[in-house]
């Protein structure tokens, strides 16, 4: 996200571009899929696929941020969180090479098993520029740990609509051609520039030079499943006009808690951010997103509750874990089961009761057990009063096939903890209380 930018000095990268516009009014009308309770028609996903879909954004080249000043703390936090994918800006200048501090850090992360998504700035950036002809060198400087090279981050096309769309498209075409012509990069994904919605109508067709669509569908003050201006599917539909139907990369998403801000990008409270983030990650995955990078790992600045960029992090500026960090950590930890020789079966399930707004998705774990996530896709934030609403809940009846040996439910609380919820039985069904706080039903087949 971009905000207040200063000229870049050595190893200093500016912040991301602040989200300047929501989806257009026409896109806001695109509703989410009716996936709430399809019973046996639902698919059971490998748990590893979901874990692999989650990443975090970082700013390791920006000397003004704690990413730069406290890199050992960042490593500790990444290991604790459980993610394996990191997004950052590729850094290039005449003083930058393999031994530059930024790339030393990238190699450290790669050596620890983290995969990299690097943003390649185009000439419109004004402060950074990554010439596509040097991509192979950057890949080598990262010890071949780059999974994705993105086009430029939120390039401003409408500032000069006569020239900027062509400049952006040409950089993307050259980036794509270079990657595809380099044998060492044959497994690297080339993602599109992350155009903001205001730029999409004037962007050139780049569908032939993109592996993955790249979007920034921030919900703002809306809940993850919204069909309003922050709707995921609205952003997808808009970008399909310029990249076609491609796998979807959400290279930035999340919530900020700058509750005193007057900026267009509106906040939620920390408890509601904690309630929403696990739902947001599951909602993205359920709708086919290949990877979602949470913006961001740490608060980049410490300028109080009026500044969004000081309040996006899972962790505070001084390195303290927030409740939302704990929620994401515990979500990922639910999938951490050692593989066994147990026969892994798909889980078939049916829900009965009041199914309006009910969302569900099931996963199988390597040990043969399953996770069934249930939640109400409703708003928990009063945007007028700027306060969170108490959770709303209802009881549903769950039928499982095969019949489970054991089942227990865990509920994600707004402070980042998990509480155990009873799973009763009635007439061969399980009774489960579902709310807008995520419920995870652990099922031993």
314 and 382 belong to one structural domain: no
244 and 382 belong to one structural domain: no
223 and 193 belong to one structural domain: yes
183 and 225 belong to one structural domain: yes
Q: Does any domain span residue 3?
A: no
**Among candidate residues 333, 366, 397, the one where a domain is terminated:** 333
Token output for 403:
């019949």
d(CA 39, CA 332): 25
416 and 313 belong to one structural domain: no
Backbone angles phi, psi at 64, to 5 degrees: -80, -5
Which residues 6+ apart lie within 8 Å of 181 measured at CB?
none
**Among candidate residues 301, 333, 365, the one where a domain is terminated:** 333
pLDDT (tens, 9 = 90+) of the chain, 445 residues, equals 443 332 233 333 333 433 323 322 222 222 233 333 343 347 899 999 999 999 999 999 999 999 999 999 999 999 999 999 999 999 999 999 999 999 999 999 999 999 999 999 999 988 889 999 999 999 999 999 999 999 999 999 999 999 999 999 999 999 999 999 999 999 999 999 999 999 999 999 999 999 999 999 999 999 999 999 999 999 999 999 999 999 999 999 999 999 999 888 999 999 999 999 999 999 999 999 999 999 999 999 999 999 999 999 999 999 999 999 999 999 999 999 887 776 667 788 999 999 999 999 999 998 889 999 999 999 999 999 999 999 999 999 999 887 888 899 999 999 999 999 878 887 778 999 999 999 999 998 7
**Among candidate residues 279, 301, 333, the one where a domain is terminated:** 333
Q: Does any domain span residue 20?
A: no
Each residue's pLDDT tens digit, 400-409: 887 888 899 9
Q: Which domain holds residue 385?
A: 348-444
Q: Does any domain span residue 395?
A: yes
232 and 309 belong to one structural domain: yes
- Which CATH number goes with the domain that contains 405? 2.60.40.1180
**Cα dihedral 366, 367, 368, 372 sign:** negative
Q: Does any domain span residue 426?
A: yes
Number of domains in the chain: 2
Pairing between β-strand 146-150 and β-strand 115-119 as defined by DSSP bridges: parallel
389 and 313 belong to one structural domain: no
Which residues 6+ apart lie within 8 Å of 270 measured at CB?
257, 322, 323, 324
Q: Does any domain span residue 99?
A: yes
203 and 117 belong to one structural domain: yes
- Which CATH number goes with the domain that contains 142? 3.20.20.80
Q: Does any domain span residue 245?
A: yes
CA–CA distance from 192 to each of 255, 273, 300, 347 (Å)?
23, 28, 25, 36
379 and 311 belong to one structural domain: no
């Amino acid at each position: 996200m971009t905000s207040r930018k200063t000229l870049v000095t050595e190893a200093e990268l500016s912040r991301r571009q602040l989200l300047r516009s929501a989806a257009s009014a026409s896109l806001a009308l695109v509703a989410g899929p009716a996936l709430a309770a399809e019973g046996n028609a639902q698919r059971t996903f490998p748990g590893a696929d979901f874990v692999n879909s989650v990443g975090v954004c970082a700013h390791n080249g920006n000397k003004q941020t704690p990413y730069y000043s406290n890199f050992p703390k960042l490593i500790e936090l990444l290991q604790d969180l459980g993610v394996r994918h990191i997004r950052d800006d590729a850094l290039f200048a005449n003083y930058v090479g393999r031994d530059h501090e930024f790339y030393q850090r990238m190699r450290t992360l790669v050596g620890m098993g983290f995969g990299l998504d690097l943003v390649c700035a185009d000439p419109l950036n004004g402060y950074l520029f990554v010439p596509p002809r040097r991509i192979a060198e950057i890949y080598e400087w990262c010890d071949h740990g780059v999974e994705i090279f993105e086009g430029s981050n939120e390039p401003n096309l409408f500032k000069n609509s006569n020239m900027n769309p062509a400049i952006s498209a040409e950089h993307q075409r050259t980036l794509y051609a270079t990657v595809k012509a380099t044998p060492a990069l044959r497994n690297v994904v080339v993602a599109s520039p992350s155009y903001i919605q205001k730029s999409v109508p004037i962007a050139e067709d780049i569908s032939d030079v993109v592996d993955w669509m790249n979007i920034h569908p921030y919900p703002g003050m809306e809940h993850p499943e919204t069909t309003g201006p922050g709707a995921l599917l609205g952003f997808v539909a808009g970008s399909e006009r310029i990249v076609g139907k491609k796998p979807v990369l959400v290279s930035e998403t999340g919530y900020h808690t700058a509750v005193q801000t007057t900026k267009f990008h509106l906040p939620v409270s920390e408890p509601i951010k904690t309630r929403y983030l696990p739902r947001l990650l599951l909602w993205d995955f359920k709708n086919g997103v290949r990877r979602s990078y949470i913006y961001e790992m740490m608060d980049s600045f410490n300028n109080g509750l009026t500044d969004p960029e000081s309040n996006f992090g899972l962790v505070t500026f001084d390195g303290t874990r927030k409740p939302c960090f704990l929620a994401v950590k515990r979500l990922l930890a639910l999938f951490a089961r050692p593989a066994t020789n147990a026969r892994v079966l798909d889980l078939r399930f049916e829900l009965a009761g009041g199914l309006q707004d009910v969302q569900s998705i099931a996963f199988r774990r390597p040990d043969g057990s399953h996770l069934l996530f249930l939640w109400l896709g409703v708003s928990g934030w009063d945007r007028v009063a700027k306060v969170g609403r108490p959770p709303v809940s209802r009881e549903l009846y769950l039928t499982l096939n095969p019949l489970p040996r054991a089942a227990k439910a865990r509920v994600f609380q707004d402070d980042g903890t998990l509480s155990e919820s009873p799973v009763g039985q009635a007439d061969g069904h399980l009774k489960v209380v579902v709310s807008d706080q995520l419920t995870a039903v652990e099922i031993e087949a």
